[in-house]
Structure 1
Amino acid sequence: MRSGILFNLNCLVAAITSVTAASLSTRTCSVSTTPSVKLSQGTVNGFSDQNSNVDLFLGIPYAKPPVGDLRFKKPVPVDQDANKVIEATSFGATCYQGGSRFNLSEDCLFVNVFRPSGVDANQKLPVLLWIYGGAFLSGSTSTYNATNIVAESVRAGNPIIFASVNYRLNAFGFLASEEIAKASKTGDATLNAGLWDQRLGMRWLQENIRDFGGDPKKVTIYGESAGAISASIHLLANGGNQEGLFRAAILQSGSPASGTIIKPDHPQVEKNYAGLSALVGCQDGGHNYSSTLECLRNVEAPKLLNATSTLGAQSMTVAPPVNYLINFPVIDGYFFTDRPTKMIAKGEIADVPIITGDCLDEGTNFTPSGLVNETVFKTWFEDFAVAYPNDTNAKAVLEKTFELYPDEPAQGSPFNNPATNVSAGSVDPNNRFYQPASTNQFKRGAALWGDYIFQGSRRVVLKGAIHKGRKSSKKVWTYLFSQRDIGVSRDAQGAYHGSDVVYIFGNTPQRNSTGLVDSLHKTMLRSWISFTHHLDPTKIDQLNWPVYDQKSKAMIQFKGENVTLIKDDYREEAISYLVSEEASAVYAL
């Protein structure tokens, strides 16, 4: 009986916050455990979580299985069949990737919808669309349970709908070469297939989210890590024209220039393509096919995945040159017409409100402990960062970069971060963490990696987003996440990449933190909800978080019970150089 009472109370709250008095008077609430929505592709049956009063519709196909002739092509919308019944009570299969904890399949293009229980098609609630991270190598919607997010939106009196979308990964989603680029012109293949999956998922929302009670005109795209990179790429796609697919974006540790962006005929891309083809017996078309592409399209999925993993292992030195593996977007003429820093400088970025931020120590989890001396450190960075080694400016750019990131542990990452009663903070700033204790370059590498991949690109987005050519009504906010939960991470990690995700999703069976600070979780989550609902993260709780501008450079620092304002000017000279035209041309940012 108690769960039913709570259910109806939440239903009443959602009704009160609906958009019109008419919808309140005609609204009815049901405690059915089988919510159902009729779409043109069929009737979708979900289920209700009685503890959170959230309806879940999981594993709804939005595209035909990208198998056989559809492998490496743009996704094709799912067939329409109004008489079909779709049992949407569990997440669909996960797209092919390493590891065995998922139900892997090429038939993996599914979307999920979480909504407040009892919502009807007239509510027109704002929608938050989640794009998962995983370096474009891994990831799955099944590891992100959004019931906490939707339930909190109802408690805040600003109910939203949460959606998430699966997309192809690694070679299945991002295989590139000159051959594929040529095939893309005839529609026989595509570059950046995984990004096209996301784009089709957005189109599916435009066509169907109204039937779940959402407003297709009020979609915010949201991602973390590769998901944030993806969301930011959609800001640049089609010359910055978002085609009405979304109205705002949240970029959590990721921006368009968060990694090397090169053309599909780049020598390293061609080398990877040839290497993968050889591993599966498809070089020059193998024995039975007219082309390498045709042969690759007919390789069994597990074999192709294993070859992808093998190629990645062969590419490793002390750390993988991640941007040169077959898992990263390339310049294709639609999502990227040029390097992202150049596109943004030309104003090719969607004119929408944005939240963008990073963790304090973004680089620690990507930096190897085996940077035993300066020579190894320099070789490591050059291997993964320099896109064009033969560039006459490469040597000078590297020398300047290394000068700006000196071998001084106190300036390295984990950065200085005082402990509090709820945050572990940092340790001795002169601690190198790894052996040899006198020459190890881990902290130097972590500082440089974090700024090269994350902080610099974020500042490029901020500068482009407030360009004088944009409408003044489209505001941007930025943040720094400096919380380090007590008893959770190693000292060398600091406030590491991804440690902020639990502060939005909360503790769930899929991911949790024993040191979670509830007040910080609530502050951050309600800010994200407020932005989704009002295009302003401060509306719900009147949080003191000023709009960003180049003069004040105001940013909010999320840390423990002490959320404060700071200035986004740390390591300004070094970061500015990394994204300067001189350096970004060498690094292909």
Structure 2
Amino acid sequence: MRLLSPFVISLVLFVGAHAAPQVKIGKTTIIGRDIPTLQQEFFGGIPFAEPPLGKLRLRPPVLKTHLDVNSFGASNYGPGCLQPQAAFPISEDCLTINILRPSSLPQNAKLPVLFWVYGGGFQEGVSSIFNGSAIVAQSVARGTPLIYVNFNYRLGPLGFPQGQEAANQKALNLALKDEIAALEWVQQNIGAFGGDISKQAAFPISEDCLTINILRPSSLPQNAELPVLFWVYGGGFQEGVSSIFNGSAIVAQSVARGTPLIYVNFNYRLGPLGFPQGQEAANQKALNLALKDEIAALEWVQQNIGAFGGDISKVTVFGESAGAIMTAILFLNVPLEKLARGAVRFISDAITSLNFRPQRREIDWKNFVTGVASCATKAGSQHTFDCLRNANTSEILPGVLNAINQAPEAFAFDPTIDGPGGLYPDLPSRVFTQGKWSKIPFISGTNLDEATNQKALNLALKDEIAALEWVQQNIGVFGGDKSKVTVFGESAGAIMTAILFLNVPLEKLARGAVRFISDAITSLNFRPQRREIDWKNFVTGVASCATKAGSQHTFDCLRNANTSEILPGVLNAINQAPEAFAFDPTIDGPGGLYPDLPSRVFTQGKWSKIPFISGTNLDEGTAFTFPSIDSETQIRDTLIANFSPPAVSEFRLESTIDKILQLYPDIPALGSPFNTGNDTFGLSTQFKRAAAILGDTAFHSQRRFFQQTAARAGVKSWGYIFTQPQPALRPFLGVAHGSEVVYVYGAPQDQSPSSLKLSTMMIDYWVSFATGLNPNDGKGLERPIWEDYTVHDERIIQLNSDNTTMIPDTFRKEQMDFINSVPAVFMHRRATGET
């Protein structure tokens, strides 16, 4: 299932020849590209982690603290991470970060940083298609300039290994670790780009893809200390790349409004390389590698963004879809407060995705290994990692494709619960209950119709962490302020960021977050074992490892496989996946990035308590509902399949579905797309009914729950529902999943004056949050006050060109109250005592 749309936000940057901007990080001169027409400067394709190849394949990202060259050409994006059917260059060597900033920024500018995490169902996506130019331009125009940052993280089985072996390998949630690494890079480096790490807001392909990109205003002094906007793209954890998210509009608007910022994005590993699944991945401690990529990118920002003029205390992480989920997961465990000061999550939160243990996806991992030719014999053996680490990159992509094609679920490789000490330590509900989450401000919203030995889980989450770490280390060189990093992401990117709320010290990497649609609690909370079949399918598709598929000994083989073998494995896993997404974040247990069910994490209070924006689109469920559905029996069968094997008794599951069908009657006027009366668009009335159920169970109810939880904890958040009509979409989709993202990037398909005005208004809200942790700074376009979400006043903003206004968060209250009262049934696992 491809979630990236061809219309998104292409990067139209490189026109004309002018003196190239330069930033010094250590002994290396980073040479970027001047964009005179926009008065912005771009630095892209910067590695924030060591290439995740060979022995480093299916392992957490290793933060790259220096480049070992006198000069580094950063005029273009790096390749996207390995994924099928990409329309851009891809590579396993893909963990790169990108920075877009206003021109002529002094290094000490200390601008806020908006850090973007793209979505794509954890299986596809790339940072390069998200052009932040409109955001940067508007930030300048309104007098609050910022820096836009995005990055690549590993996708599919490389970012989210599944199954028991992945849990054993401690290889869960690698993409989350990619995000953290990117944020850490921002913390270390964004100051050099003129960014402020305290104000940080998440295409060729290659395995060596962990690069970071920085876009900043031109001529920024190194001490500019601008806020940093850190973007995490989505793509279902299986596709995506930082290069397609051009932050020029964001940087331009930040300059125009007088609040300049630096835009950073990065690549994280995707599919099985970012999210290894199954028991072996858990054993190898290789879960959630893409989450670790994100952390590494954030750490890079913390270490380096100062050199770019960024302020490491002003990093805001934002992501969409999978990118938002990854960022939401970071709220659960990683001390996100150290990497970002805020977050914007487009649609997804850590509680949005299914909260899986890695064993659930054993079959996905087996399918991946099967598709890697040199490791196919090891598929299913629990001894695949060594083989995979020795495989050629050329072998990896066939494995990814094999896993995706055979995945029994929509997403075969995604974040997984990796247990105590992991990035996804437990169900979000438990993390929230314990109070062990990053309590930073955030914006969160939906579209109107959103329908354990090797520890190798969640590698893509680790890619995100790596990118954030890079931002922390380096964004100052680009004029960013590492204390002003805001992470924002959409769809899968939002889920990744939401997961980071659960465990990762997100507060250290970002000060806020914006999540487009997804929260950590939006997806089902899987253990890696659930996806054992997906991992088996992946390994089966890797020719040299196919014989190891299903053996619990696949990792060594996979690490030795050629990259050329990996993609067939990915394709095999995707094609055979029993669910829509074979690879996504998985619960990796205590100490992991996704430590436990979100409900438990929230109950314990062990989550990142940073401000955030979170929202949904009006019709979240339509894009995930089969148009052919035409009977109540089909709806019932779909719901049973979605929540099986059940976490409760079969009787309780079936009785709950009976109640759901009563609460959502077969009345077209009440269905999704909403506000369309009795029109069925030539489809059965059951389509609108099913879409309403899916949108509420997976998206709207979970956005509401997370904001209610944050309000009770005293964490500021702002919620939205995007209801702007989308004339370019097929009518039955309504205002579908991801519709609002292009508006924040200044590129709506509808170019009418009212639509463009809404786009400008939304950029102002986002830039205002990235620069001041409040969407209401009074600068830029005159716009309604967006009130924060409180215990005594639960209201969100309706984003619509005809009527942008605050509305009570009470729509379909009876239905969503019921959904949130039985979290174990829907695998949200939020209520105290639910297991």
TM bracket (short chain): 0.7 to 0.9
1:220 equivalent to 2:316? Answer yes
Alignment CA distance shift 1:567-1:70 (3 Å): same
CA drift of 1:123 comes to 0.9
Matched with 1:538 is 776
Correspondences of 1:513-532 after superposition (within 5 Å)? 513-515=750-752, 517-532=755-770
Q: Which residue, out of 669, 674, 677, partners 1:410?
A: 669
Aligned with 2:165: secondary structure?
A: helix
Matched, 1:96 2:82: yes
4+ residue runs of structure 1 moved beyond 6 angstroms? none
Mapped partners of 1:364, 1:562: distance in 2: 23
Distance in 2, matches of 1:302 and 1:577, equals 48
Residue type of the partner of 1:285?
K
Contact 2:525 2:827 in 1 (8 A): no
Picking from 631, 634, 639, the partner of 1:373 is 631
Asked if 2 retains the 8 angstrom alpha-carbon contact of 1:176 and 1:330, the reply is no
2:159 maps to a residue whose letter is G
> For residues 327-346 of structure 1, what are the structure 2 equivalents within 5 Å?
327-333=584-590, 334-346=592-604
Q: How far apart are the structure 2 equivalents of 1:515 and 1:386?
A: 45
Residue identity in the other structure for 1:295: C
Q: Which residue of structure 1 lines up, in the alignment, with residue 162 of structure 2? A: 176
Indicate whether 1:492 and 2:732 are aligned.
yes
Q: 1:464 and 1:211 mapped to 2: Cα distance?
A: 37
Residue range with higher mean Cα deviation, 45-54 or 342-351: 342-351
What SS does the aligned partner of 2:775 have?
A: coil
- Measured against aligned partners, the alpha-carbon deviations of 1:317-365 in whole angstroms (never above 9, x if no partner) come to xxxx335x12343334322222113322332322211111111111111
Distance 1:519 1:504 in 2: 11
In the alignment, the residues of structure 2 paired with residue 216 and residue 144 of structure 1 have an alpha-carbon distance, to the nearest angstrom, of 22
**1:404 positional shift:** 2.0
2:742 to 461, 483, 502: 502
Higher mean alpha-carbon deviation, 347-356 vs 42-51, is at 347-356
SS of residue matched to 1:220: strand
Runs of at least 5 residues in structure 2 that lack an aligned partner in the other structure: 1-16, 172-281, 335-435, 438-504, 831-835
Residue of structure 2 equivalent to 1:297: 559
Q: Contact 2:765–2:776 at 8 Å: present in 1 too?
A: yes
Go from structure 1 to structure 2 and tell me whether the alpha carbon gap of 1:202 and 1:84 turns closer, same or farther (over 3 Å shift).
Answer: same
SS at 1:237's partner residue? strand
SS in 2 for 1:296: strand
Which residue pairs with 2:105 in the alignment?
A: 119
C-alpha distance in 2 between matches for 1:187 and 1:391: 29
Q: How does 1:417-496 map to 2 (within 5 A)?
A: 427=676, 429-435=677-683, 437=684, 440-467=685-712, 469-470=713-714, 474-485=715-726, 487-496=727-736
1: CA distance between counterparts of 2:19 and 2:808?
49
In the alignment, residue 145 of structure 1 is paired with which amino acid?
A: N
Give the secondary-structure state (helix, strand or coil) at the position aligned to 1:557: strand
Q: Distance in 2 between matches of 1:336 and 1:499?
A: 28
Partner SS, residue 456 of structure 1 = helix
Tell whether the 8 Å contact from 1:119 to 1:213 is kept in structure 2 after alignment. yes
Residue identity opposite 2:525 in structure 1: I
Structure scoring higher RCO (CA < 8 A, sep ≥ 6) equals 2
Of the structure 1 ranges 104-113 and 339-348, higher mean CA displacement relative to structure 2 is found in: 339-348
CA contact (8 A) 1:53 1:116 kept: yes
Percent identical residues: 33
Report the CA distance between 1:587 and its aligned residue. Answer: 5.4
Specify the SS of the correspondent of 1:135: strand
Paired residues of 1:371 and 1:442 also in contact (CA < 8 A): yes
Tell me how far 1:297 sits from its aligned partner.
2.5
Cα root mean square deviation, aligned = 2.4
CA distance in 2, matches of 1:189, 1:300: 22
Does structure 2 conserve the Cα–Cα contact (< 8 Å) formed by 1:73 and 1:187? Answer: no
d(CA) in 2 for partners of 1:484, 1:564: 16
Counterpart-to-counterpart distance in 2, 1:42 and 1:579: 52
Equivalent in the alignment of 2:300 = 204
SS in 2 for 1:413: coil
Q: Which of the pair is proportionally richer in strand?
A: 2
Answer yes or no: is the 8 Å Cα contact 1:527–1:540 preserved in 2: no
Q: Give the aligned residue type for 2:508.
A: G
Output the CA distance in 2 between the equivalents of 1:389 and 1:283. Answer: 32
* Match status 1:249 vs 2:510: no
Q: C-alpha displacement at 1:374, in angstroms?
A: 1.2
What are the superposed Cα offsets for residues 531-588 of structure 1, whole Å, 9 maximum, x if unpaired? Answer: 1111110113463221212332111111013211211101112112222245456455
Would you say 1:285 and 2:542 are equivalent positions?
no
Task: Report 1:148-159 matches (<5 A).
Answer: 148-159=134-145
SS of 1:280's equivalent in the other structure is: strand
Is 2:771 aligned against 1:569? no
CA–CA separation in structure 1 for the residues paired with 2:320 and 2:159: 18
CA distance in structure 2 between the aligned counterparts of 1:521 and 1:132, rounded to whole angstroms: 19
Q: How does 1:307-346 map to 2 (within 5 A)?
A: 307-315=569-577, 321-323=579-581, 325-333=582-590, 334-346=592-604
CA distance in 2 between counterparts of 1:475 and 1:79 reads 34
1:499-544 Cα offsets, whole Å, 9 max, x none, are: 111111012xxx7444571211111100101111111101134632
Q: Contact between 2:167 and 2:284, CA under 8 Å: does it hold in 1?
A: no
The alpha-carbon deviation at position 394 of structure 1 amounts to: 1.9
* Partner in structure 2 of residue 21 of structure 1: none
For 2:53, the equivalent position in structure 1 comes to 67
Over 3 Å counting, the alpha-carbon distance change for 1:284 and 1:303 in structure 2 is closer
Match of 1:352 in 2: 610
* Cα distance change on mapping 1:301 and 1:134 into 2, 3 Å: same
Partner SS state of residue 700, structure 2? helix
Asked whether the equivalents of residues 59 and 286 of structure 2 are also in contact (C-alpha less than 8 Å), the reply is yes
Scaled by the length of structure 2, the TM-score of the pair is 0.60
- Residues 394 and 586 of structure 1 are in contact (CA less than 8 Å); yes or no, is this contact kept in structure 2? no
Letter in 1 for 2:786: W
Counterparts of 1:262 and 1:536, CA distance in 2 = 34
Match of 1:24 in 2: none
Q: Which amino acid aligns with 2:87?
A: R
Contact 1:397 1:582 in 2 (8 A): no
Report the counterpart of residue 400 of structure 1 in structure 2: 659
183-192 vs 405-414, which deviates more?
183-192
In the superposition, relative to structure 1, how do residues 359 and 195 fare at CA in structure 2: closer, same or farther (>3 Å)? same
